[in-house]
Amino acid sequence: MANDGNDFLRSMSIATSGLRAQAGRIRVISENIANADSTAQTAGGDPYRRKVPTFSSALDRTLDAKVVTLGKVKTDQSAFKVRYEPNNPAADASGNVKYPNVNSVVEMTDMRDAQRSYEANLNIISATRRMIQRTLDILKA
């Protein structure tokens, strides 16, 4: 693979795929956080179940480069939190209410990690744009 202007395009495209993947991850984390305290719609029913984003690598043949994509969003099969709240409309016959298996501390940690990854990809795009601009300035002179 020769070094040419396509390297800039590859760098920006790879970083852009990272931005998209992290934005999707943030969307899933946001949904988890928003539903952290929700209960089932019916008495004794199951509440919201935490979702876990996955990533996959794909070959972009036009760029001859590996890019990242948001993979399948899976559901976390861990146990629900259960609280004794007999007056809650979502309570089962024993007075227990199931709450989502969402841990806000874990979600905030994941959010921070996604934010850092997003910012790193954004920095790559900014640095690549600056290098392209400097190259154009040199060529004009």
Instruction: Output the pLDDT for position 1.
Output: 42
* Stated pTM of the model: 0.85
State how far the Cα of 65 lies from the Cα of 7, in Å rounded to an integer. 10
Chain position carrying tokens 């709450």? 99
Is residue 64 within 8 Å of residue 1, measured between CB atoms?
yes
Give the model confidence (pLDDT) of 126-137 as tens digits: 999 999 999 899
Give the model confidence (pLDDT) of 70-97 as tens digits: 999 999 999 999 999 999 999 999 999 9
* Residue 26 CA to its chain's centroid (Å): 4
- DSSP, collapsed to helix, strand or coil, labels residue 128 as helix
